Structure formats: C-alpha cells, structure tokens
Structure 1
Amino acid sequence: MVEFIKHRKQQGQVTGIFRATGGSFVTEAVDTLTLTYEGIPGDRHAGLLRDSGAREPWYPRGTEMRNERQLSLLADDELAAVAVDMNIPHLKPEWIGGNIVISGIPHFSLLPPRTLLIFDGGVTIRIDGDNGPCRLSGRSIAAQFDGREDLEMAFPKVARHRRGLVGWVEREGIIKPGESLTAIIWEQCIYPG
C-alpha cells in the first residue's frame, strides 16, 4: 500500500534578496530582484541553458542542458541552525551564493521538487530540488573566519538537507524584501520502487 500526502500550502515571507554580480558565486544584497525566464539578469547562474558539471555524472562535463539552477533559495532558520552546528556566530547567505532568503516555511530545504513558490508580486519559482552543500561554499565560509580551515569540510556534512533549494523562474517579475509568498506543495508519496 502506497501512502499519499495530500496537496497543501505554506505561507512564508522574503527576508533577503541577493545577486552575484562578479565572476564569483558570492552574492550581495540588493533592494529589488528582477527575475526573467533566464533567472537574474547578469547573475553568474543566469541563462535558460547551462553546462553540465559534477552534479550530472550521466552527461559528459560541459554538455549543454536546461538550467534548473537559476536561483539559490535559503531559509533564515536553517542558516542559523547550520551556524550553531558549525560553531560560528552567523552564516550569511551571501557567502554561499544565496539569492532569496525566506522565513516561515518549516523544513524549507525538504520541500519536494515541483513545489511552486508564488510571490505576492506575481513572480513564480518552480523548485527543482535540494541544493547539495559543497566544499566551495565551505571554503567561502572558512575565508570569513581566520584560522578555521576546518569549516571547508564541515559545511558539506553539517548543512546536508539544510542548504536550501535550487529552482527556476516560471513567471517573471520583481521580488522585494518583506514580500509574502505561498508555497504550493503537490500531492506526494515515497516511490515504492
């Protein structure tokens, strides 16, 4: 017997918005975030397409594919919990390339693929899935704390299932801090194999 969990909604709020403007994945805070079907114009992860990498071992590296990683979405409570577990005073979303920080949705990083985030201003983001924590983000965190090289390797372990989500723009528009959003979580079950 397969158990299905019914469709439901969760309410949240935008607490921060960020954009990567340079060659790095590190982001910086902005007042408004314009989203197009290609993601954030000028951002490192913008584009309808991207090249495959280590996360897609089924393709040769550099294979052109759909860009389902246009946006990095984080939760403020998960950032705080990861910081505590890493024994650091705080974990800024900018250090790990966050684009949108959200509050009010419990276990945000566990939202399933296909979840829609519908913002009050009209933007819709479709969740592709969780964003696996990597050493590159850990290295960025370690750079903020002199003498804490251990953080590079700690982050991938500590942030597992709390690193946020990646998604792509389903409906264009502008997002602002303080804006409310609704997560539409489709009916789901654990595949019985």
Structure 2
Amino acid sequence: MSADLFSNEMLRIHPARKISGTVARLLAAEGDAFPTSAVESLTFTFEGIPGDFHAGSTRRSGGREPWYPRGTEMRNERQISILAVDELAEIAKRMEIEKIEPEWIGANVVMDGLPRLSMIPPRTRLVFENGAVLRVDGQNGPCRIAGKSIAAHYRDREGLDLAFPKVAARLRGLVAWVEKPGTVAPGEAVTANIPEQWIYEA
C-alpha cells in the first residue's frame, strides 16, 4: 500500500465550524397520523417526541432499508423531522404551486436562517438555546407518501405526488435523533455545530 494514502496532503479536509439560526415553527404528529399540527413547544426525550408518530428508541425497517427484511426492528435515527422555510418555498416553486405547509409532510421543527439546511452533514449537533441537542443523522429522502399529502391540497393538479420526489431531492430537510433532552420553543436560537468534513477516497 502506498504511503501517500496516509499523507494529509491527499486529504481535502474542511474544518469544523458553527452557524446559527432560529426555530420558526414546531409541530407534532399525535397517534397514528403522518401529518403534523402546530404546537407551542416541544419536549424532546431520548425516545423523541412523546406521543409523536415517529417516537421510539427503535423503529421497524421499511423501503429505505433494503438491506434488512421489511419490519426488522432497528435503532430509530428518524425521531425528528427538520425542514427549512426557504427550502419549502423552493420546492413549491419547482412544483409550480403556491406553497407547501410543513405540517403536510410531517415536519417537527422548521428552521430559519441555516443556509442549505438539507446539506448539513451527518453528525452535526443542533444545540438549542434552552439546552436541548439533536444529532443529525442525514437527509430525509423525499417520497411519494409526502407527495400524496401535498397533492391532496391541490386537487385540480395531476401528478404532484410523483413530482415531489423528483424536485425535492436534497431540499427535503433532515432527520435527527435526540442526544440531549430538553424543551424547545418557537423563536429559540439554535447553533449547528458542524464537524470536520472530508471526502473519503480509497
């Protein structure tokens, strides 16, 4: 093996940094419902949001995890759905519709001021002003289920359910899990602690 593989000159490393934003809205999905509704605050526990559709320390695998038989119990890294105000507006523009409300597609936290939210990398810590911390798992891939929810609000338009997965790629926000419990309120400041990044090349 070439010694050059271990040379720092071969690595393209971006240093860790912090960026700040605010919580624009908070929402929760109670019971078996996928859509969410606005709440005045959210309490995060190690299981996620108590009573929320995606709460739990574990979850069952689905179409996103083809490496497991469907229904396999696995760690729940999708406890919290995070969206951005500007990215929702961009998706609506691309779909040529007036708007997309975050509750239509199951949002829990809507952020403002964090640029290109959906591109924030895994392992980023979202530290909220009052002490709660979420750990980013990664992007939330757009699916037809969310597309159908949007389409239900524009019944005069055909094909929106299929259009959403195509145009919302890398704009659908993030999924995260609770690293440190706490309560979050709208208007609260949040700091994204972005870790050192690099492109892995073998």
TM range (shorter): over 0.9
Distance 2:105 2:95 in 1: 14
Percent of matched pairs sharing the same residue? 56
Distance 2:85 2:201 in 1: 33
Aligned ranges for residues 83-102 of structure 1 at < 5 Å? Answer: 83-102=92-111
Instruction: Count matched residues.
Output: 193
Query: Gaps (5+ residues) in structure 2?
Result: 1-9
Name the counterpart of 1:30. 39
TM-score, with structure 1 as normaliser: 0.98
Name the counterpart of 2:158. 149
Give the residue type in structure 2 aligned to 1:125. Answer: L
Name the counterpart of 2:76. 67
Query: Gaps (5+ residues) in structure 1?
Result: none
Counterpart of 2:149 (choices 129, 133, 140) is 140
Post-superposition Cα deviations, 1:102-157, rounded to whole Å, max 9, x if no partner, equal 01111100011000000001000000000000000000000001122311000001
Post-superposition Cα deviations, 1:86-113, rounded to whole Å, max 9, x if no partner, equal 1111110000000000011111000110
Counterpart of 1:41 (choices 50, 58, 62) is 50
Distance 1:71 1:47 in 2: 11
Give the residue type in structure 1 aligned to 2:59. Answer: R
Name the counterpart of 1:130. 139
Shift of 1:2: 1.7
CA RMSD of aligned residues (A): 0.7
Give the residue type in structure 2 aligned to 1:177. Answer: P
Name the counterpart of 2:125. 116
Name the counterpart of 1:50. 59
Larger Rg: 2
Name the counterpart of 1:77. 86
4+ residue segments displaced more than 3 Å: none
Distance 2:184 2:157 in 1: 35
